[in-house]
Structures are given as structure tokens and as C-alpha cells.
Amino acid sequence: MNIPDGFKYSKDHEWVLLKGSIARVGITDYAQDALGDVVYVQLPTVGNKVAAGSSCSEVESTKSVSDIYVPVSGIIVAVNEVLTSSPNLINSDPYGDGWIMEIEVEDIANVAELLDSSAYKQLIEG
């Protein structure tokens, strides 16, 4: 299972890569593996104010439909439009081209409350 250092992770299996006040968000390798082949992504709406822990989009796979939860509060400033035509990028490159949204973070301190790679690894290994 790929769990890169330098990212933060939520208990809901989303990752966050912070650049300044912008958090790029996607789902983890663990989550995409559990979902199976992703066939559709409902992207959130740019400009929406979102609260940490709330559902903001969905990912549909050949196995199920799963909600994507917001790991940090803020305003959605970008979405990965490429996923509308290539949702499988979530499977092939979950930490790169398979990102889902970017959020302008309301309070940077909230990012520090997320899990680091070793804590996330402990979470998924039970």
C-alpha cells in the first residue's frame, strides 16, 4: 500500500497536500483499492464553502458508490475536471493526477490535526 510521506490523511481515507493555504485533496491508495475500478466521479462545486467531515462529492466504482468527505474546512477553489472523462486516474495515480479538489483552507492549524503517514498506516493496519 502506497502511503507517501509529506501528505496528511483523514480517518475517512482522504489525503491532503498543503501548498500555502491551498489543500489539494484526493482519496488514498487504500481507498481506491477498496473501491475497485472507478467509473464515475461527481465533482464538488467550485466556490462552495465546505465544513470538515461533510460529504462534498461521490466516487462510483464497479463495486459501490462512496462519499468523499472534506478533510478541512474552507472554500473549494478548483476541481480536477479531467476526472469527468478519465475517472480511472483515481486508481492509477491517486496521489498525483487523480486528485479531486483544491480547498482554500479556513484555518491552517486544522491540517496539523490530520494523521501523518505513520499514523494513517497504523489506522489501516488496525
User: 106: pLDDT confidence band, cut at 50, 70 and 90?
Assistant: very high
pLDDT tens per residue, range 2-61? 999 999 999 999 999 999 999 999 999 999 999 999 999 999 999 999 999 999 999 999
19 burial (CB, 10 Å; 0-12 / 13-18 / 19+) is exposed
| Domain boundaries along the sequence of the chain | 8-115
Among 125, 119, 110, smallest CA distance to 25 is for 110
Among 83, 120, 87, smallest CA distance to 102 is for 83
pLDDT tens per residue, range 80-105? 999 999 999 999 999 999 999 999 99
Residue range 8-115 forms a domain whose CATH class is: mainly beta
- What integer pLDDT is reported at residue 63 of this predicted model? 86
Whole-model pTM?
0.93
Amino acid sitting at position 67: D
pLDDT tens per residue, range 57-78? 999 999 889 999 999 999 999 9
